[in-house]
Amino acid sequence: MKRKARVNARLRPMLDALVDDRSDAIRRVLLDIAEAAVARTPTAEVARRAGLRDRDELYTTLRRAGLPPFTRLARLVRTLNWLLEAEDSNVTLSRLARDDQRYASQCSREVRATLGIPWRELRERGSGWLVAQISSWFA
């Protein structure tokens, strides 16, 4: 039976803790990224949900807040979601890719391009390491 890609239950509280003291627009954008990253929601739609005019305003808002561009944040959150799912369910990246309607090689390349390390090494380091990496950008 095929599982549908979903946002891991542990992801939203992790992101919520990271954005505790951010402006409302930044907070809404970052918390929406979890669903957007998994569902591959268009950037303009994420911007509208956050109360911004368009994706250009979204990019400007993130840049002014000192955060990475939306596409990089989305890749990071998607990777964290995959990692949490793998830790919780003990499934392979191939299975997660299939659930996300992607090729395993595509997901593997995305992990390496985003973090500079292969999936196997990311699995060894764990979600705690990745959350620490992401939180360093919010400090």
Digit-coded pLDDT (tens) for 46-103: 888 878 899 899 889 888 888 888 888 888 888 988 999 999 999 999 999 998 889 9
- The answer to the question of residue 1 being in a domain is no
8 A C-beta contact, residue 37 and residue 74: yes
- The answer to the question of residue 126 being in a domain is yes
- The answer to the question of residue 70 being in a domain is yes
Residue-level pLDDT at 109: 96
- The answer to the question of residue 80 being in a domain is yes
Structure tokens at 67: 């955060």
**Domains of the chain: total:** 1
How large is the average pLDDT for residues 1-6? Answer: 48
- The answer to the question of residue 5 being in a domain is no
Nearest to 29 by CA among 64, 80, 79: 64
8 A C-beta contact, residue 59 and residue 44: no
How large is the average pLDDT for residues 100-125? Answer: 95
**Which alpha helices (H) appear in 40-69, and where do they start and end?**
43-49, 55-64
Instruction: Return all residues near 56 (Cβ < 8 A) that are at least 6 apart.
Output: none
Which residue is listed with tokens 């990745």? 130
In this prediction the pTM is 0.81
